[in-house]
Amino acid sequence: MRFTRSKAFVMAAGLALSLAACGDAGEDDTDAPEVEVSENAAEQFEDGTAMKELAEDGAITIGVKFDQPGIGFKGATDDAPKGFDPEIGKILAADLGIPADKIKWQETISDNREPFLTEGQVDLVIASYSITDERRTVVGQAGPYYVTGQQLLVRSDSDIETIDDVKGMEVCSVTGSTSLDNIKAEGAKPRGFDTYSECVDQVLDGTVDAMTTDGAILLGYAAENPDELKVVVDPFSEERYGVGYSLDRPEMCEWISETLTEAEESGAWDEAFEATLGQSGVETPEPPAIDECPAA
């Protein structure tokens, strides 16, 4: 079932890119794109849908990461997180008529994304959240809105160049991530932490030989420490980032997918990327095609 809505009320404008921001994806020296908030949004959705309820409430809770520069990062003095995931959250909220200052940002770590959705602590999870068949048995995942691949982050003086070089080496990642599972299969000695920021500290102080997760996340850390860290090896997995929702609200899938598609077509997606992940010097990719939603 599709939800009829008037077109193109998600538009981004006023993006001011600062060249000085290059190489420092976690800092607030870039203006985020302005996202146009839909008017009379509640009227656009059918009664009984999650979208109607959220639009009527005028508020939404979104789970994002707080420690991944470029993806989802909230500094100690920041009011709200910054990064590509929060920008996708703002685009979705705006479609419900909810402005950015009415979004409650809930920090999620990799391991609590499913329980936060199934227990109703958040309405959506947008947190470098790869779509997997296993996760889709527990939660809904619409998308993908971004595709990346797993790589390694090592100290600048490291000799690690290929994935074969990590056999028998200590490599950290995060519990509950696809990254920890994938690196086990490569013959490394896996070390699991709660967050990627804890893991990167282990690389910096030499406790582990490397850290592994999605290239998009690693680039953010490398950009913060360009003299000490580098990203190596060709991507050895495909990570398709999806927007998580509760399987109790299956109607959200069509709405998320439509809104993402509109953002990809209107240029809002590009502007969100350029203002966040693009700041680490990565070229803006073609936005990915969105999966079909499961049959109702």
Q: Which pair of tokens denotes residue 279?
A: 């700041």
Terminal CA-CA length for the chain: 8
Cβ(152)–Cβ(222) below 8 Å: no
As beta bridge partners, residue 6 has: none
Minimum CB distance to ligand GLU smaller for 45 or for 129: 129
Minimum CB distance to ligand GLU smaller for 174 or for 260: 174
Minimum CB distance to ligand GLU smaller for 110 or for 280: 110
Q: How far is the CB of 102 from ligand GLU (least distance, A)?
A: 25
DSSP 8-class letter at 31: P
What's the rounded Cα separation, in Å, for the pair 104 and 139? Answer: 20
Q: How far is the CB of 80 from ligand GLU (least distance, A)?
A: 19
Q: Which pair of tokens denotes residue 169?
A: 């080496």
Minimum CB distance to ligand GLU smaller for 73 or for 129: 129
- Residues in touch with ligand GLU (CB under 6 A): 110, 127-130, 174, 177-179, 213-214, 239
What's the rounded Cα separation, in Å, for the pair 220 and 24? Answer: 8
Q: How far is the CB of 175 from ligand GLU (least distance, A)?
A: 9
User: Which ranges constitute the DSSP H helices of 48-104?
Assistant: 50-57, 84-95
Minimum CB distance to ligand GLU smaller for 174 or for 229: 174
> Which H helix or E strand runs over 104?
strand 103-107
Q: Peptide bond preceding 144: is omega within 30 degrees of 0, i.e. cis? A: yes
Q: How far is the CB of 212 from ligand GLU (least distance, A)?
A: 9
Minimum CB distance to ligand GLU smaller for 239 or for 251: 239
Residue closest to ligand GLU, measured at CB: 177
Q: How far is the CB of 235 from ligand GLU (least distance, A)?
A: 12
Q: How far is the CB of 129 from ligand GLU (least distance, A)?
A: 5
Task: Give Cα 264 distance to the centre of its chain.
Answer: 16
